[in-house]
Amino acid sequence: MCWPDVATARLFLRGLASDGWTEDEQALLRRVSLEALARWCVRCGVAPLAYRRCAGTFPALAESLAESFFRSAGDNILRFHELSQVLDRFRAAGIAVVVLKGTALAEMAYGGIALRPMGDVDLWLRDADMPVAVAIMRELGFREHANADRPPTLQSLAGGELQFHGRHTLFELHWSPFPGWWLRRTAAVDDEELWARAEPLALDDGRSPGGEGWARQLAAEDAVIQIAVHLAVSHQFAVTAVRGLMDVALTARAKSVDWAAVAERARKWRVGTAVWVVLDLADRLIGLPEVGEALAGLRPSPLRRALLRLLVSPESVLAGRDISDSRARYLLLLLLVDRAGDALRLVWRTLWPEEEWLSARYGKQASRQHHLWGVIRHGQV
């Protein structure tokens, strides 16, 4: 049996996200190559979760994934140790924080910090708190990472992030949980709504880092939208797309997501198409109970669905197809825009950007002609 085929992958993933597999399902999965399945779990970023879920049912598979599990556990213990140090200092300085993505999902959705591999720690701060937070990171010995193509002023305009390297962890301090010029030019996400709905975050020992009820996480519906937009727009369904879909499915199971609210907010914020693609894939591959009506309300036109599925499909996600470094990603990003007028604005402003963008990216002497020449000559978008 070739791995991954959609039917078998769906069977395996649905068991990972729920209470396991029936005896008949176990028999079907035992026909899969153990080595191929283990490699696939590692590549997709679900190996620690599979280790925990499969320990009693597929012990040989769990044994082959043990190294990934314990590496994830060790790495995340170090990350959360550094996180506690940072948050304690932020709390002492009166800086409120919303913890984003994997760091927030590990305990809330996965049930333990070892089960969700992470590459970094993402923290959302208010604009006014960013200068003090940067000073604290430097005082704690974190090294700031500079990127000439994305200077801090440009990142601030785009709701992006500043990166700091610690001994074990990359920290990203975000101006917004929905960063980037795609969103700034095509969508209308309300950060104030997100901030107001944020909920207390607790770690696996029941303690809220930095103090009880102080550090927070996005409300479940907002987290689903943020995960979806991040996966579709920021990463264009790259290699760890399966883990992103699992993030959505486990969040829904852990928090009883209100899908009608997800659909309403996605439409209002003009990210409905991106959210639809991710929820549709998650439902097809893992299962999202009661999501059907919300999906129907977000579904784009038949033509757009057909074009999207040429670029993103269950098969492409399972195979780990990565178009993020190819020109196909530009077509995907255009197809993900909800409104035709916004798509035209995205193209126009990509080629002929705003004055504030030019100044932040190139300096005060830059011109639109200089930028356009770079696009034509080097493909720099």
> Are 208 and 282 within one domain?
no
Residue 130 within any structural domain of the chain:
yes
Residue 152 within any structural domain of the chain:
yes
> Are 283 and 306 within one domain?
yes
> Are 319 and 227 within one domain?
yes
One digit per residue, the tens of pLDDT, for the chain of length 381 reads 455 789 999 999 999 999 899 999 999 999 999 899 999 999 999 999 999 999 999 999 999 999 999 999 999 999 999 999 999 999 999 999 999 999 999 999 999 999 999 989 999 999 999 999 999 999 999 999 877 777 888 899 999 999 999 988 999 999 999 999 999 999 999 999 999 999 998 765 445 454 555 799 999 999 999 999 999 999 999 878 999 999 999 999 999 899 999 999 999 999 999 999 999 999 999 999 999 999 999 999 999 999 999 999 999 999 999 998 888 999 999 999 999 999 999 999 888 888 888 888 887 666 777 667 666 665 555
Q: How far is CA 63 from the centre of its chain?
A: 28
pLDDT of residue 55: 93
164 within 8 A of 143, measured Cβ to Cβ: yes
* Host H or E run for residue 231: none
> Are 234 and 315 within one domain?
yes
Domain boundary among 187, 218, 249: 218
> Are 213 and 229 within one domain?
no
Task: Count up the domains in the chain and report the number.
Answer: 3
φ, ψ at 148 (rounded to 5°): -60, -30
Burial tier of 86 (Cβ tally within 10 Å: 0-12, 13-18, 19+): buried
Domain boundary among 218, 240, 273: 218
Strands 216-217, 98-100: pairing kind: parallel
> Are 105 and 119 within one domain?
yes
> Are 205 and 303 within one domain?
no
Number of Cβ atoms within 10 Å of the Cβ of 60:
11
Strands 161-165, 199-200: pairing kind: unpaired
pLDDT of residue 356: 87
Residue 58 within any structural domain of the chain:
no
- CATH number, domain of 105, equals 3.30.460
> Are 81 and 214 within one domain?
yes
Residue 63 within any structural domain of the chain:
no
CA dihedral for 296, 302, 306, 308, sign (positive or negative)? negative
CA dihedral for 25, 30, 33, 35, sign (positive or negative)? positive
> Are 194 and 80 within one domain?
yes
pLDDT of residue 1: 43
Residue 87 within any structural domain of the chain:
yes
250 within 8 A of 282, measured Cβ to Cβ: no
> Are 103 and 212 within one domain?
yes
As a whole number of angstroms, the distance between CA 19 and CA 13 comes to 11
pTM of the model: 0.93
As a whole number of angstroms, the distance between CA 99 and CA 199 comes to 10
pLDDT of residue 241: 95
Residue 98 forms beta bridges with which residues?
124, 216
Q: How far is CA 36 from the centre of its chain?
A: 26
As a whole number of angstroms, the distance between CA 147 and CA 251 comes to 33
Residue 59 within any structural domain of the chain:
no
Residue 264 within any structural domain of the chain:
yes
Residue 15 within any structural domain of the chain:
no
Domain boundary among 177, 199, 218: 218
> Are 291 and 309 within one domain?
yes
> Are 103 and 171 within one domain?
yes
Give the domain extent around 119: 70-218
